[in-house]
Amino acid sequence: MQELVLGSTSPFRRELLEKLGLPFSAVAPDVDETRREDESPQALVLRLAEAKARAVAAAHPEALVIGSDQVACVDEQILGKPGNREKAIAQLESMSGKTVCFHTGLCLCNAATGKTQVVCDDFRVHFRQLGHEQIVRYVDKEEPFGCAGSFKSEGLGIALFRKLEGDDPNSLVGLPLIQLVSMLDREGIRLP
């Protein structure tokens, strides 16, 4: 089997990829993630996922390289990672009662052939109406400062939602495994 490399240092993406039971290494991609003027969220994540995969593929010329990127949007505005308590609270207050769309770009690059497969997987989170105290309790408990959208769906963040909508719940965390399994299959890696 070709070497499999995850072009990411995200512990969440590593944990998801481990579910497939394949040996892999993880490498930080060196990519400028600045959004281009008038670039849609979907175009951004597709471009960055491919750029990350190609950047890592350059250093691993025989590998299959996985690149992924994700943005969260509410009311057509991209939400960043809050970075601190105050911004996390404000971000969650702005999402109360609304739907947040997570766009996840995924690229599998066969470094040996130069062939890439690139898709955007969308996942929607419908938030409950949340009071300020609920939000503060949540933020203080989970400290989701490094998470786009200010929540961890795999933890207590699930209590913030009214409904989840999408084809692959792994997309919400940042790595659409259903799509990835299909991509790997096209490269001759059969799972399970």
Domain residues of the chain, as ranges?
Answer: 4-186
φ, ψ dihedrals at 124, nearest 5°: -110, 135
SS3 category, 149: coil
Q: Which tokens in the block code for residue 130?
A: 């949340």
Summarised one tens digit per residue, pLDDT across range 1-42 is 899 999 998 898 999 999 999 999 999 999 999 999 999 999
Q: Helices 85-95 and 132-142 sit at what angle, rounded to 10 degrees?
A: 130
φ, ψ dihedrals at 102, nearest 5°: -100, 120
Domain 4-186 has CATH 3.40.30.10: no
> Which of 26, 10, 187 lies closest to 116 in space, CA to CA?
187
Q: Report the chain's terminal Cα–Cα distance, integer Å.
A: 14
Pick the catalytic residue: 32, 69, 140, 167? 69
Cut 0.85: pTM above it: yes
Gyration radius of the chain's alpha carbons = 17
Q: Kindly write down the DSSP assignment for every residue of 91-143, as one continuous string.
A: HHHHHTTSEEEEEEEEEEEETTT--EEEEEEEEEEEEPP--HHHHHHHHHHH-
Alpha carbon 70 to chain centroid, angstroms: 4
Q: Where are the alpha helices (DSSP H) in the chain?
A: 11-18, 41-59, 85-95, 132-142, 169-173, 177-186
Catalytic status, residue 69: yes
Residues 6+ apart with CB under 8 A from 14: 6, 8, 26
pLDDT of residue 43: 96
Up-side HSE of residue 10: CA atoms within 13 Å toward CB?
21
Summarised one tens digit per residue, pLDDT across range 126-165 is 999 999 999 999 999 999 998 888 998 888 999 999 999 9
Residue 40 identity (one-letter amino acid):
S
At residue 57 the predicted structure's pLDDT band, cuts being 50, 70 and 90, is very high
